Amino acid sequence: MTLAHRLALAAACLLLALPAAAMTQQPVTVTGRVTGDDGAPLPAATVFIEGLGLGAQTRDDGRYSILVPASRASGQQATLTARRIGYRPTSVTVTLAGVVTHDFTLAAAPSQLEGVVVTALGIERQRRELGTAVQSVKGEELAEARETNIVNALAGKISGLEVTNAGPQGGSARVVIRGANSIAGNNQPLFVVDGVPISNRSDIVGGFGGYDYGNAAQDINPNDVESVSVLKGPNAAALYGSRAANGVIVITTKSGKSSRGVGITATSNMTFESPLRLPRYQNQYGQGAAGEFEFVDGAGGGVNDGVDESWGPAFDGQPRAQFFGVGPWVASPNNVRDFFETGRTWTNSVGLSGSTERANVRLSLTNQNVGGVFPGNELEKWTASLNGGAQLAKRLNATASMQYIKSDGTNRPGTGYDVANPMEQFVWFGRQVDIKKLKSYRDANGHQLNWNYNYHNNPYWISHENQNNDRRDRIIGTGAATYQLASWLSATGRLGTDWYREGRKLTIPSGSIGEPFGINDQTGGFFETLLFNQETNSEFLLNANRKLTSVLGLDLTFGGNRRVNDFRTNNEGTTELIVPGTYNIGNSAVKPTVSAYEERRRVNSLYGRAGFAFNDYLFLEATGRNDWSSTLPTDNNSYFYPSVSGSLIFTDAVPALSLGNRVSYGKLRGGWSRVGNDARPYQLQLTYNPGTPFGGIARYAFPNVLPNTNLKPEETTSWEVGTELGFFDNRLGLDATYYNKATTDQILTAQVSGASGFTNVVVNAGKITNKGLELQLNATPVRLRGGFEWNVTANFGKNQSNVAELYGDLQTVTLGSYWSLTVEARKGERYGALYGNPLLRDDDGNLILIDGLPQKDAQKRVLGHFTPDWTGGLLNAFRFKGVDLSVLFDTKQGGELFSVTNMFGRYSGVLEETLEGREDGLLIKGVNEDGTPNSTRVSTEDYSHSLFEIHEPFIYDASFIKLRELKLGYTLPTSLANRLRASSVYASIVGRNLWLKAKVPHIDPETAFDASNAQGLEFGQLPSVRSIGFQLTFTP
Amino acid sequence: MAAPLMNNRSMLLSKFPRAAAAVALAATLAACDQGLTGINEDPNAPREVSAQLLFPQGVTSVVGLLRGAGFDLELTSLWAQHYAKIQYTDEDWYNIRPGTIDTYWSSFYAGGLADFAEAIRQAEAAKEPNLIAPAKVMRSWTFGAMTDLWGDIPYSEASKGQENLTPKYDAQQDVYAGILAELKESSDMITADGTGYADADLIYGGDMTKWKKFANSLRLRYAMRLSKADPTKARSEIAAALAAGVFTSNADNAELQWPGDGTNDSPLYANFRTRNDHRVSKTLVDILQGSSDPRLAVYARPTQADATKYVGVPNGLKSPDATALGLTRTSRIGARFALRDAPSMLMDYAEVLFIQAEAAARGWTTGNAAALYAAAITASMQRFGVTGSGITSYLAQPSVAYNASTGLQQIALQKWIALFGQGIEAWAEWRRTGVPNLQPGPAATIGMVARRLRYPLSEQSYNNTNLLAAIARQGADEYTTRIYIDKP
């Protein structure tokens, strides 16, 4: 309330300072053309008459036209400004009378230091005004070197932004900006599309099986994206709420403003995918144990034929009983690679746009079809997007955008240590198994045919018989109306919603080996999930924008928001059917498993922002927001959070500082903010958990989590300072930021001794600090008269986290665990410690061996951290006449991961390194328990088995460098394009993930089971894909 | 210029209060949204449930854990050398994943014990002794198994929630004293005319007379377990328990019948339907074959390769060595135990008779040790479907027939055999009696058969001070440390 009073007072003061408004007589037309400094027309540039709130976007030919109504044109002087993302804005003063013509030539700002960026609430602002770090990517940069998940497409392009792509195609990507704020809660930024927060929900899958259905933000179609701005610090939280404490990814979709009449663009993109990296296998010894193998029934009836390891006889080409009968004993070197198919991704998009003086609209339709590298896997997505705006009345303007997305997944591969993941059995495998002989996976009697009947299902059975289908229908829509109360005061109402429903069904037929998912092998069974998710934001905004004096401008915003979240899920399934093949709950032979969950949340907010601009070189901004959240106790549910920031263009303020134009642009900026955050719903009351009825007897279990009736909001405090420098006419630009933030009073489900009767208690405790440095370097090393240009963009982000405090005597909070290694937030450590068992050593560091074999040190310790030391990207772009070439490298350096593929691949004897000592054994360097040097030779098989669940040997440096994107494009000369009845034609060859350099053997270090905080774990990684293809864009 | 200025100003002045009013209204609405708190009422789960819903949850939870994949199946029946593993043998040579122990620890305390604690709290508030007593008996049954696993455990301060998040460990001596006192208290409070939990009583269907006998029979079990550590207390407690009334036939056995409906299948069935890792132990098969025990055909299945043969697997082999014995050439665990609706035994009549036989043999009671010994074997045989001459001819064998000079050893051996399917009890008895003479397998990482379980790692993180006090009192936290009841 005090905020409201203060703002009201400020508004009242403003009133008194108003100069007279001018009288108006005749309509005025302002027209012209906007071109780049290379002479090419610039479409989608904005030309704006300052103070009148009137403007237009340029068409494809760079032309614009603005009609000023007679009532508002009186021959007065006005400032006409042209802006485009990536260019320096230019202003002229014109007299509004008759027909005004002005052509603009905009200088490219490859340094990204200047120009327009979209900030909070979709407001386009000059970069120079911003006191905190913001970095943008143009839509075409995301759409061209096509990546199906928009989150992955940001990798390497934004400093301080860390993307982790989880395995399968269509799977989740995790993005974290400036490190983790929350010990165990969400650490990913908020996604906002056209002013509407959207869901980026993803399931926690874990490492023991399941399906990764992806993160919800990947529904956004890159073809419809005009630009992406990344607001890195928490300063935007005043306008977007608590969730922005992790940063905001602001996505603006394309509109129809830039076209006159009807414009059509068609884009077609086709790429081919293949596994980027598969383990290197040994090809000298086949299936079995202790050098022996003979197949009888594949389940232990023969000689080691139940064993799914490759410690069998050496390949000698001699006849031997195998799963298909007697055949020569030879290796199948490519049996894993041959299982995967060449994937193809075909994207076709057509966009229609049109505009008149008073209205504009863009309609687009995109189809994306992915045939996965995993046999039988297909992902299809349709996106229909509508974006329109209209001047409904003299003072009333309305905009609306809507996207409908339908995505279907067919037979996604399972992940983790599970029978549904084909890579699991390739870690346990016989190197002689000829995959082609498994392709017809039924024998003459219709039973499953496989190389092993003890543990695994035929991989083709998994991909073809285990049907796993999902479908999501989603609508993201927003409508807004703005009423111009006065030339300096407007009121906006906006309603936005993100709505989706999703269905998933997994069916397992009869005839499986080992009852996957507990489903009866005689009858089969199924599981089905329905999800419903909706977030609705309704808000109002009052905007006042006014020059107070000739040098001082004031910009005020006051608004309110109500956010409502609604989530529901229903699950049903059965492990046993009456009649095999009918996957309906009515056909369940046993009591079906059913469950349901729903969750609601409401947050009411009031917020305000005041911005001051002095002489266009000094800018100050203050924001404040108060939230009332349903998830906190009534006494504690209101919390206020403020921010301040400022920016100074010192080269404008003191021109002498440009050192004779060597420093063409210099800016200093800084910001401070504090953000409150609420809890997840239902943390305040103790509730009981239903058990399945036991026969006819109902059961309820006492809960494991002790709730907290006194929860208070958690708090993130952050400050940052930065500078933006342009040299040599901005051909060299540097943007540097140092930040420091701390999140305290974390709402934490802390583990406690189970002996208390609870496993966890909900508490307000703990503190994480993050500090770091972000650098962006932009340079144009070469720009020749003939049109050749070479641009370089480098991004660097280094973050240092520290778990400063936890709850009480608690030393650690477990984020996840895998094969008895835990991922932890440990007090005094960097976030994401990998805590596991080392090899047993004496005080001098020698391995202590028993019977010649290494031993596990039962005392666990920190063996690494999944959080990297730094991330970076390097983009080189070359342009000559119609040809452009860009090359993006992306890297993460530092950080570790625990690779269970390496652990079990060694255990099972399939990996290349297990050849060492096969014939003569190994003499492991170390000492016996009595301190004498070891002299006992051991078999490689025994040595490899002895390393099971000793984590240390399988912790690897996760550093990598990837050739993330390569693009070679050609724009047809206009004359040639015209002959094809097109105004422009652009063709390119694109590639993604073409090359990898990593320290970890056998796998891609960019790996995860899901997008949760339990990172740094790997097993049976579904190979990441290398993608090569071409794109054609045709504009009639 | 004056007129437009006035115009403009009046226009704005007229607009401003409207905007201010809208702001004030919005602020009021946001701050005073009375519905906010109501939104956070969890619609998914109730905030109150009755003791009748908690008690069956607690019973199935602790029985499933102790008789199922938690302990008997994967640890304690292996350590008692009733079962052996033929694949994934790690636990059989005492290589145990600490993470699983963390889970079991919490599954006891924050699982069944928490359910019992809340049921008792409600029943005490309602002054319903027939609801209090069964929950206390089940709590004692659970704590008895836990203290036999670890020795000192949190007991008197356990399950107190917010009041005590770091409960102290009680010495095993005190845990035993607490269990014996609580069993007495339970037996005393039961009124035989009531129906207790009625249908929600999954053990006795509300028969309070049987609960009273179960309380006293358990008192007998834990009293005899003190035979070396505190014989005086053992003797007096046994006398008191017998006086209060114990099991008198197999009809009194405390067992949990699994419905076998797909969601609540017997623990062995649930494991064996997908896994083929368990076999009967060679130790057991050799002993049974040595005395032509008819229970062999009940405890074990003939091999798949040769239906006339029963072949046990030695305990404590490395997986490849065990697997090399052949999945089809070794005996799986008896089919009767692997039925989908097979019952889990909590305590049977035979054990009660063996304890009476031992008490008589020790001269603590006036009973006839030989008769009680024969009756105990008979009760065990009958429970497993052996009748008539099968029993008499077995008992007639010289090695089986009771001999006063070796009576305690004979009782101990027969009790170990009869406790098949209750591995944790057989293992606890072996530690007390040393019968049979179990030896660790060749792959064993410790030089003996395990004598206790290590504490879970989670206690180091969340309850370290109390954990260290327990270790200081009891001895190193190792598999080889003897606990209070386990005296050489």
For residue range A268-317, list pLDDT tens digits in order: 999 999 999 999 999 999 999 999 999 999 988 889 998 999 999 999 99
CA dist., res. A216 & res. A226, Å (int):
19
Q: Chain A contact for B227, CB < 8 A?
A: no
Residue A677 contacts residue A242 (beta carbons within 8 Å): yes
At B146-183, the pLDDT tens digits run 999 999 999 999 988 888 999 999 999 999 999 999 99
Query: How does DSSP classify residue A560?
Result: E
Residues of B in Cβ contact (< 8 Å) with A628: 30-31, 33, 36
pLDDT beyond 60 at A166: yes
State which of A243-252, B77-86, B454-463 shows the largest mean pLDDT. B77-86
Neighbours of A538 (CB within 10 A): 14
Q: Chain B contact for A695, CB < 8 A?
A: yes
Tell me what percent of the residues of chain A surpass a pLDDT of 70: 95
Q: Which contacts qualify for B152-158: CB closer than 8 Å, 24 or more apart?
A: B152/B470, B152/B473, B152/B474, B152/B483, B152/B484, B153/A755, B154/A753, B154/A755, B154/B109, B154/B463, B154/B466, B157/A755, B158/A755, B158/A756, B158/A757, B158/B109, B158/B113
Our CA angle for A823, A828, A832, nearest 5°, is: 20
Residues 768-827 of A with CB under 8 A from B: 808-812, 817, 820
Tell me the CA distances in angstroms from B58 to A699, A955, B2, B116, B385, one per residue in order. 9, 41, 86, 6, 30
Q: Chain B contact for A659, CB < 8 A?
A: no
Residue carrying structure tokens 């400063």: A804
Q: Which of B106, B107, B261 sits opposite A695 (nearest CB)?
A: B261
Residues 469-508 of A with CB under 8 A from B: 485-486, 489, 491
Q: What is the pLDDT of residue A268?
A: 92
Q: What is the pLDDT of residue A1?
A: 38
Q: What is the ipTM of this complex?
A: 0.91
CA dist., res. A990 & res. A995, Å (int):
14
| Among the ranges given (A163-177, A784-798, B101-115, B136-150), the one the predictor scored with the smallest mean pLDDT | A163-177
Our CA angle for B216, B221, B227, nearest 5°, is: 125
Q: Over chain B, what HEC string results? A: CHHHHHHHHHHHHHHHHHHHHHHHHHHHHHHCCCHHHHHCCCCCCCCCCCHHHHHHHHHHHHHHHHHCCCCHHHHHHHHCCCEEECCCCHHHHCCCCHHHHHHHHHHHHHHHHHHHHHHHHHHHHCCCHHHHHHHHHHHHHHHHHHHHHHCCECCCCCCCHHHCCCCCCECHHHHHHHHHHHHHHHHHHCCCCCCCCHHHCCCCCCCHHHHHHHHHHHHHHHHHCCCCCCHHHHHHHHHHHHHHCCCCCHHHCEEEECCCCCCCCCHHHHHHCCCCCEEEEHHHHHHHHHCCCCCHHHHECCCCCCCCCCCCECCCCCHHHHHCCCCCCCCCECHHHHCCCCEEEEECHHHHHHHHHHHHHCCCCCCCHHHHHHHHHHHHHHHCCCCCHHHHHHHHCCCCCCCHHHHHHHHHHHHHHHCCCCHHHHHHHHHHHCCCCCCCCCCCCCCCCCCCCCCCHHHHHHCHHHHHHHHHHHCCCCCCCCCCCCCC
For residue A32 the two structure tokens come to 């012209």
Residues 885-914 of A with CB under 8 A from B: none
Angle between helix B231-244 and helix B349-361 axes, rounded to 10 deg: 130
Q: Chain B contact for A296, CB < 8 A?
A: no
- Chain-chain contact of A600 with B39 (C-beta, under 8 angstroms): yes
At A65-116, the pLDDT tens digits run 888 888 777 788 888 888 776 677 788 888 888 888 889 988 765 445 566 6
A179 dihedral zone (left: phi>0; alpha: psi -120 to 50; beta)? left
| Among the ranges given (A16-20, A58-62, A731-735, B52-56), the one the predictor scored with the smallest mean pLDDT | A16-20
Q: What is the pLDDT of residue B33?
A: 66
The mean of the pLDDT values for chain B is 92
Q: Which of A606, A698, A751 sits opposite B26 (nearest CB)?
A: A606
Q: Which of B46, B114, B463 sits opposite A687 (nearest CB)?
A: B46
Residue carrying structure tokens 């039924």: A442
Q: Chain B contact for A629, CB < 8 A?
A: yes
Chain A: residue whose CA lies nearest to B155: A755
Q: What is the pLDDT of residue A871?
A: 95
| Among the ranges given (A483-487, A653-657, A697-701, B85-89), the one the predictor scored with the smallest mean pLDDT | A653-657
Please report which confidence band the pLDDT of residue A258 belongs to, taking 50, 70 and 90 as the band edges: low
Q: What is the pLDDT of residue A6?
A: 45
Q: Which of B24, B39, B263 sits opposite A4 (nearest CB)?
A: B24
The mean of the pLDDT values for chain A is 89
pLDDT beyond 50 at A11: no
CA-closest candidate to residue B53, choices B141, B123, B102: B123
Tell me the CA distances in angstroms from B459 to B76, B454, B475, one per residue in order. 22, 11, 16
The helix or strand, by DSSP H or E, that contains position A603, with its residue range, turns out to be strand A593-614
pLDDT beyond 50 at A12: no
Residues of B in Cβ contact (< 8 Å) with A691: 57, 60
Please report which confidence band the pLDDT of residue A387 belongs to, taking 50, 70 and 90 as the band edges: very high
Residues of B in Cβ contact (< 8 Å) with A515: 273-274
One-letter amino acid at A1004 equals D
Q: How many CB pairs under 8 A join A and B?
A: 268
Q: What is the pLDDT of residue A698?
A: 95
Q: What is the pLDDT of residue A430?
A: 96
Residues of B in Cβ contact (< 8 Å) with A944: none
Select the more confidently predicted residue: A130 or A166: A130
Q: What is the pLDDT of residue A116?
A: 67
For residue A178 the two structure tokens come to 């400036």
Could you tell me the maximum CA-CA distance found in chain A, to the nearest angstrom? Answer: 104
For residue B213 the two structure tokens come to 């006998």
Our CA angle for A575, A576, A580, nearest 5°, is: 125
Residues 335-364 of B with CB under 8 A from A: none
Tell me what percent of the residues of chain A surpass a pLDDT of 90: 62
Neighbours of A19 (CB within 10 A): 10
Please report which confidence band the pLDDT of residue A450 belongs to, taking 50, 70 and 90 as the band edges: very high
CA dist., res. A965 & res. A888, Å (int):
5
CA dist., res. A912 & res. A285, Å (int):
11
pLDDT beyond 90 at A156: no
